[in-house]
Amino acid sequence: MGVHDGKKVTVTYFDEYEIWSQMADGFYAHLPLRNLHWKSPKGQIRNINTLDIDAKRFTPDSMEKQHMMPETLLEKPYLNLYLVNCEDNELYRTTVRQKIRDWMNIVTSKRNQEWLIVYVTKQETFRNAARYFNMKGTVFDKIKADYNINKRDRCVQLRILENDVEDYESWQDLMAKMKEGILTSFNQHVVQYEEDIRLFDSHRSMIGWNYCRFFILKEGLALTFEVMNLYEEALVQYDELEASFFQVLKDRALAWFGSFGATDHEDDSANILDVKKKSYRDLIMQNAIPEFDFRSYLFARQCQLLGRLQRPVDICRRAQLFISTFGRAIKEQQANVGEHFLESWIYSSCMSVVNECEELFSLTSLDDHTLMAFNAAKGELLDLARKQLDKLGIYYGHLPDSLPFITALGEATPPTLPDLENENKKKFTITNKELKEAIESADYSQFDLLYLSLTNRALKAYEGSTRVRSSYRLSGDVAALQFHRKNFESASQLMEDLPWRYGEQGWTVVENKEVTFYAEEVKKLCESLEKGEEILRPFKPMFSVSVVSVVDDITDEDGPYLSVELTNLLPTSFTFNDLVVRLVSGQAEEIWFGIRDQELKPGLNKYNLYSDNSASGNYVAENVHLSVGKVVFTQNFLESKKKSFRINEHPAVLRAQITAPDDIRIGEQQYFVVQMFTGLTSVTKGTIMLEPLSEGLTFPETDKYHATVKLVNEGVISKEIHSEEDLEVSLNQIRIPPAQPSQLIQFNVPYDCSWGAIEHKEQIKVTVMYESKEKSRVFTAVDTVKIWLPLTVTELNIFRDDCLFLKMDVALNGSLPVRILGTSLVPSKVYEVVDVPSLASPTVITSVKSRNLRVLRSTLLLLTEHSKTIEKFVAHTLNNILKSKNLLQHSRFLLENAKEYLLRSVDYVSYGMTDALDLGELDVTQCEILFASHGAFKESLIEVVKEFWQVCNQATYEDIAIFSNDLKFTISFPVDVPSSKILNTVELVISKPNDLIVGEPCHCRLIIRHSSYWNYMPPTDKDTFEFYYDVHVDFDNWLLAGHKKLCFSSKVGETKEFPITLVPLKTGSLLVPLVRVA
């Protein structure tokens, strides 16, 4: 935003020997110059942290044409470098010396310029032994002798070497000489400037003295300071120029300025900090700059330097002072600049300063005190801009001519509306786009949007400082606007706390006025309410509420209730209509607890809130509503510290669950088992809805499900079926029949998913909506069902003429061992099972187990019965302990987590070998984390787990096996008996019935029978097939006489016989050679 952005100190170099290309990269690598110390003529030392250099090739025209012109002066070099690398003394004496002298004569003829001779040497030249031992001295020594005059070292040697240390030292020597020369030249400039300014200012009283010329001269000194990064000194020059201008203004000696100005296009909306929007300096030098442009330029330059000093607070404060003082001068010229030019200019100026300072502030680190000061100063500018909206809003009819809006006018009378008297005023059109759109909007929408956004920015700024009363005032103005727009609800909400806040500040008069205005707003609000509309109000300051706990009472048929404490701070009692609390969970579930028509007395009141919904899980209290007629008091608990609660399945209330079946049949439609326990609830009617939550899980459409009804006595399900029902399905809702207490309704629901041997879990949401005792209730739960096969089966087929031997390998699928209670092979209608080995006793499967089965042609089913005895033992033990302690409502939560956390500790291998259960040590810390949301039940549940752990650690297989009699799980694996188009059986008949003798031949018969028994489509008797046999002989053990490999033809049912002779070569038990037929 600067007038001379990018200006640097100029340094020239004379490069007759083309040296610059070799040293340029290293030269720029050591820039900018650092830590320059300048001593001002007054004796003060100023530190220049960094200084950028602009290196240019030397030309004879590198001189100022007129030292009084600051821009030309800035382009004049501060330092001139002569680059030389001559190594020959004779060449230097005859040629180079004169060239250096000619260059030096040009440089020294110019004012305030320093010079430096840079002798550049290369590595190989510097290390030349002949040069090194030359007693006549080097060229550099002669240059120093010739040109180091007045005890001033103006020569420096730069060595371009590969050694980084030596190179760094020589460069540092050059940089030090350059800093010295630049500071000397700069000091000469400053002395010359100050002398010229002093001389020119002394002629102020003389005829012909020109303020604009004085300004240009003094600004030249300021620009010189700025180029050297001495922003404080530059700012002093502009402050002195401002003071001298006010003196000129006081003396009314404005002959050097043109008209007042402010007549150019966009003068009312341009960025006040932009010093490039006009040719200000040209106008000043031509004595033709208007006062409006001159003062804008002077202020922008001051702010530019403050910005370089990273002082946004001072920019805002100076802007507020400048806008208010200069605004009065503009108001005096209103007839010339046009009506509402001032409002548009003030608004645009304030916003441009705030926007620029916010951008500068984002790049500046401020402490807390400075941050508060910045917010306060920024808030005042935004507030001043908003007041211009008040003035324009009243004039154009967007705001009423009443308080608080007319305070921006400075008087209690409305502004003069357009009439015949104003026709003589200059016509002016606001050029600020957003301001113009706002005042020209017909429906107030654009005006209100700008008004509210600007007010909110000012509010945030005031809130970030200590200007709380200013923020109260702005809140009141917004409320007044909403009231004028007939948004009585918003207005009353804004005004609700303002009277109390003013009272706390001790502003009683303002408090009374605000209370009166608030009462009027509430009155208008009540009059505007339609029938059935509600008024929302916060609990504070009249009430306070807290949710104490969730109470589980297993003897209460209505289920758990919410204990709530409500404090009435009013001195009177009344009856409220509803008190409801909303609890939410992480699964997007919600439960409302409520109570109706209760008396609320002054002080503390305690209530028990019940819910018609039942859904177990961890919940967080979200909000509470207290209804009193049309007024609803609300409070959001999530705005403060969250409070979580655990809601359990109540044993007295209807509940439903989805489980995996006990009988799994591979290859058939799979299904879930849906169970609904009525508990102590009698159901008149109801429906069940199942919603799959896992991807890929679907339920096939059907019109009914077949259900069975059983009785439940003290938690034990009867084996006998009480009744059977067909449950109709309509629009995915399963109708349930009327049910009595202590009943179980159970039915199977088929499903489709990517089902396989890999374990995965499916989530299903079950919702039961039912009526009980003329009340509608809802039960909701999300069940996770593990779908997997605990066992896998592989088979090996061995064909015989009229039977098939199957080798079945039963393997464990997973990490948890399974106890096999029995296996069986079920024959089909056509084929039978000849022999099935059975288990002598239940077997624990920890790896592969084999069974050899003899089967006569069939597609069969392999049935395996296994038992999850440990899980059932855990469930039975936990329920007994919970029941004894009246904590049965926690059963489902404990069982789920027992499987998840506790059963991991079981050493199943040791259990299978010793028949003794070992859980190891109990992790009490894990238990405390698990029960963190159970409130008052936390310690009791930890004691339950400790007792359970103790019982389980003493359990033996005899204790656990009691549950395996009735809790059996069956898996049916289909066994497909393969077919074979052609079956050749081979028999090798040895002629000698006794042992063979080494070396003695033994005649054998190779008999091959052709059978089609295992071909489901037998060939005809005329079909002939070509085969060959191959005898695989181990020649280390046998010698073979006859055909080792022979082709032959055969028909179905035909038997072929071939002679061969075998000679044993070793003693011992020898394997008969293998014969392969193909």
Residue 718, domain CATH: 2.60.40.740
Whether 472 shows a pLDDT value over 80: the answer reads no
Q: Which residue has the tokens 């499900």?
A: 705
Q: Which of 978, 1010, 1041 is the last residue of a domain?
A: 978
Nearest CA to 779 among 699, 694, 674?
674
Which residue did the predictor score with more confidence, 379 or 877?
379
Instruction: Note whether 697 and 589 are same-domain residues.
Output: no
Which residue did the predictor score with more confidence, 957 or 324?
324
Cis, peptide link before residue 32, omega less than 30° from 0: yes
Instruction: Note whether 973 and 999 are same-domain residues.
Output: no
| Region of residue 702 (left: phi > 0; alpha: psi -120 to 50; beta: else) | beta
- Residues facing 691 on adjacent strands: 765
Residues 812, 791: Cα–Cα separation, whole Å: 5
Whether 398 shows a pLDDT value over 70: the answer reads yes
Which residue did the predictor score with more confidence, 259 or 324?
324
Q: How confident is the model at residue 129 (pLDDT cuts 50, 70, 90)?
A: very low
Q: How confident is the model at residue 412 (pLDDT cuts 50, 70, 90)?
A: very low
Structure token pair of residue 552: 């589980």
Residue 488 forms part of a structural domain? no
Q: How confident is the model at residue 777 (pLDDT cuts 50, 70, 90)?
A: confident
pLDDT digits (tens, 9 = 90+) for 570-627: 778 889 999 999 988 866 578 889 999 999 998 999 999 988 887 777 888 888 999 8
Structure token pair of residue 520: 């009027």
Residues 553, 873: Cα–Cα separation, whole Å: 27
Phi, psi dihedral angles at 717 (to 5 degrees): -85, 130
Instruction: Note whether 831 and 951 are same-domain residues.
Output: yes
Which residue did the predictor score with more confidence, 658 or 414?
658
Q: Sign of dihedral through CA atoms 598, 602, 606, 609?
A: positive
Residue 608 forms part of a structural domain? yes
Instruction: Note whether 818 and 949 are same-domain residues.
Output: yes
For the sheet containing 1002-1011, what is the strand order?
A: 983-990, 1002-1011, 1055-1064, 1038-1041
Instruction: Note whether 971 and 1003 are same-domain residues.
Output: no
Q: How confident is the model at residue 382 (pLDDT cuts 50, 70, 90)?
A: very high
Q: Which residue has the tokens 């010079």?
A: 115
- Between the ranges 359-373, 503-517, 616-630, where is the mean pLDDT highest? 616-630
Whether 2 shows a pLDDT value over 50: the answer reads no
The residue type at 957: Y
Nearest CA to 953 among 1009, 911, 989, 1003?
911
Instruction: Note whether 805 and 920 are same-domain residues.
Output: yes
Nearest CA to 952 among 875, 841, 1004?
875
Structure token pair of residue 1035: 């020649």
Nearest-10 crossing angle of helices 291-308, 211-227 = 20
CATH number for the domain harbouring residue 549:
2.60.40
Residue 21 forms part of a structural domain? yes
CATH number for the domain harbouring residue 1034:
2.60.40.10
Residue 256 forms part of a structural domain? no
Nearest CA to 729 among 709, 706, 702?
702
Task: Give the Cβ contact number of residue 831 at 10 Å.
Answer: 16
Domain that holds residue 559: 535-647
Which residue did the predictor score with more confidence, 603 or 648?
603
CATH number for the domain harbouring residue 55:
3.40.50
Cis, peptide link before residue 404, omega less than 30° from 0: yes
pLDDT digits (tens, 9 = 90+) for 46-68: 899 999 999 999 987 655 444 44
Instruction: Note whether 733 and 590 are same-domain residues.
Output: no
Structure token pair of residue 1037: 């053990």
pLDDT digits (tens, 9 = 90+) for 903-936: 666 776 777 677 777 777 777 777 777 777 676 7
What is the enclosing helix (H) or strand (E) of 947? helix 938-953
pLDDT digits (tens, 9 = 90+) for 719-755: 888 888 889 998 889 998 899 888 989 999 999 887 6
Residue 107 forms part of a structural domain? yes
Instruction: Note whether 27 and 152 are same-domain residues.
Output: yes
Q: Which of 623, 647, 671 is the last residue of a domain?
A: 647
By the 8 A CB rule, do 834 and 858 touch? Answer: no
Phi, psi dihedral angles at 686 (to 5 degrees): 180, 175
Alpha-carbon dihedral angle through residues 82, 86, 89, 91, given to the nearest 10 degrees = -90
Residue 78 forms part of a structural domain? yes
Which residue did the predictor score with more confidence, 998 or 773?
998
Q: Is 768 helix (H, G, I), strand (E, B) or coil?
A: strand
Least reliable range by pLDDT among 85-99, 365-379, 784-798, 799-813 = 799-813
**Mean pLDDT calculated for residue range 951-959:** 75
Structure token pair of residue 853: 């089965």
Q: Which residue has the tokens 């004595």?
A: 287
**Mean pLDDT calculated for residue range 100-118:** 89
Structure token pair of residue 545: 């509420």
Q: Residue 420's pLDDT is what? A: 38
Residue 897 forms part of a structural domain? yes
Residues 656, 770: Cα–Cα separation, whole Å: 12
- Residues facing 896 on adjacent strands: none
Q: Residue 323's pLDDT is what? A: 92
pTM: 0.52
Whether 482 shows a pLDDT value over 80: the answer reads no
By the 8 A CB rule, do 364 and 314 touch? Answer: no
Structure token pair of residue 383: 């507030």
Cα separations in angstroms, 667 against 132, 866, 974, 975, 978: 100, 19, 7, 10, 17
By the 8 A CB rule, do 552 and 560 touch? Answer: yes
Instruction: Note whether 970 and 993 are same-domain residues.
Output: no
Cα separations in angstroms, 186 against 183, 223, 659, 746, 818: 5, 12, 91, 99, 94
Q: Is 442 helix (H, G, I), strand (E, B) or coil?
A: coil
Write down the mean pLDDT value for the chain: 80
pLDDT digits (tens, 9 = 90+) for 193-239: 888 888 888 888 787 778 888 888 899 999 999 999 999 999 999 99
Q: Residue 830's pLDDT is what? A: 62
Q: Residue 238's pLDDT is what? A: 92
Instruction: Note whether 55 and 21 are same-domain residues.
Output: yes
DSSP class of residue 31 equals P
| Alpha-carbon 791 to chain mean position | 44
| Alpha-carbon 349 to chain mean position | 38
Q: Residue 300's pLDDT is what? A: 92
Instruction: Note whether 133 and 169 are same-domain residues.
Output: yes
Q: Is 880 helix (H, G, I), strand (E, B) or coil?
A: helix
Residues 173, 794: Cα–Cα separation, whole Å: 88
Nearest CA to 733 among 713, 774, 703, 763?
703
pLDDT digits (tens, 9 = 90+) for 1016-1075: 666 666 678 889 999 999 999 999 999 999 999 888 878 899 999 999 999 998 989 999
Whether 522 shows a pLDDT value over 90: the answer reads no
Nearest CA to 23 among 83, 108, 68?
83
**Mean pLDDT calculated for residue range 394-412:** 74
Residue 674 forms part of a structural domain? yes
Helices (runs of H) and strands (runs of E) counted in the chain:
28, 43
Whether 480 shows a pLDDT value over 90: the answer reads no
Residues 221, 226: Cα–Cα separation, whole Å: 9
Phi, psi dihedral angles at 456 (to 5 degrees): -65, -35
Q: Is 255 helix (H, G, I), strand (E, B) or coil?
A: coil
Q: How confident is the model at residue 695 (pLDDT cuts 50, 70, 90)?
A: confident
Q: Residue 72's pLDDT is what? A: 46
Instruction: Note whether 705 and 771 are same-domain residues.
Output: yes
Q: Which of 739, 769, 787 is the last residue of a domain?
A: 787
Number of domains in the chain: 5
